[in-house]
Chains A and B, each alone.
Chain A
């Protein structure tokens, strides 16, 4: 068995064990995406009528709503930047938390580590499992969402939808990796879930606060939501994606180092 073989084998075993959860998440998010696509024609018509009758001042005030009269703006506002990035991390955060402290609590880590595999393989396989699970969920989401596009008669490019979901793949993976790192530090999986969850919610609040309050604008850079860009409109956030991917690698390496030094208790 080669060094790579171990973690890849573990990744496959763990992904197989999560098939049901992956399918449920994928179908749920995909159905939601399809619903938003299907709702767009009637929503845009209603919104258009409302804005036509509105005063110029009201139109300026409602500028953001005008943006959602395009399918890209609508999907970005209702689905891509609001639902997926706040919901999907809650699939991978528990996975990251369970990898070390959760397995320690369930007393399954001893048996796993009685096999001849280096500890970093446990970390690599946890990251691999999260990356794979997210990729499957987001692929299902893409397929189901895109199925509704021709039926609704809207012009949403498949490449742009894929690009937007790819950004979210990296975004969610980062929070899963953070949970994994915390789980190598603390002995309670509860904390390994709560800490990244609090960071996620705080970033979400900061991101939304900055949209409605000028005084909160300077701190919006601390929110990853601000850096997600507008890939549905062709504005792919290359820098943010590369930095998030780099952060995942650094966090993964830190988790492997922390796990290597750590005692495992029963």
Chain B
């Protein structure tokens, strides 16, 4: 099956500022592909290059085998797009907006707009100026998906959505994948990426830092555990547990970094009088930093660990 999206050496430089550099990427047809990174990493730049809203400084991108710059009209025929930030004509209702876009796509009806609106819980009859931020985001999602595109490119799609609607939205993505459609999902929220994505690309500072399956990314996610005991406790048994690192103790408190071994840590801690237990999940930025540290350590150890 041909790739849904490929980029080769895709580079965008804004004057003296780097947007994205030398991006080589392949998104397979029928997968949900997470594109993650901290703010300013180059996620939105990449998406805008795929949609031909920006022109590349170097390199090229293809969507469904079509050049995203030279064949941009054909590309957009098969793509649904939700921008990270977008404005709506405040006098227009959601239905009018979708109806206008349906006509521009040569559609005779509104496709799955009503079904999507019902599942997301948004009223398409209201002028968009009277909608809350979350409901405007839902209208944005409806316009991106109503024509059932072969490829949906979604930039921070869950912004402003409440947790229940986020769940519904992620279910919609799973259903789209089941129908063989491809989703390119940009996000800085690791939890939503880990729930639906098959593979994940991490960008940082305009460069691709990693491209791996979601499982292998999650393996890198280490929790920070803080244990407060009634009396000072020897930290050495904790440091000896599998999956535990960076252990240090001060007075009655022990801090450590834990991968898969939280069960063993809790069981060991239970042998003492435990006053408090705090488990902190790292932010995505911290995951990136951890990833970078590992990469750099591997690189300094030998060429086999060179950054991809």
Contact = CB atoms under 8 A, between A and B. Distances in A.
Contacts of A116: 73-74, 76-77, 104-105
Given A1-B104, A1-B105, A9-B103, A113 B53 contact: yes
B84 A264 contact: no
The SS class assigned to the A binding surface is loop
B105 A266 contact: no
Interface in A251-266: 261, 263-266
Of the four ranges (under 10, 10 to 19, 20 to 34, 35 or more), the interface on chain A belongs to 20 to 34
Interface stretch (B20-28, B85-93, B116-124): B85-93
B73 A108 contact: no
Interface residues of B, number: 31
A266 B73 contact: no
Given A107-B85, A108-B86, A264-B48, A115 B53 contact: no
A149 to B, nearest CB: 37
Interface in A106-121: 106-108, 110-111, 113-118
A13 interface: yes
B104 A117 contact: yes
Nearest to A5: B106
A187 interface: no
A265 B47 CA distance: 12
A10 B101 CA distance: 10
Interface of B: 44, 48, 51, 53-55, 73-74, 76-77, 79-81, 83-89, 91-92, 100-101, 103-106, 140, 143-144
List of 3 A-B pairs having minimum Cβ-Cβ separation, nearest first = A107-B87, A1-B106, A114-B81
Interface of A: 1, 6, 9-10, 13, 17, 106-108, 110-111, 113-118, 261, 263-266
Given A17-B91, A113-B51, 4 more contacts: A6-B104, A111-B87, A115-B104, A263-B54
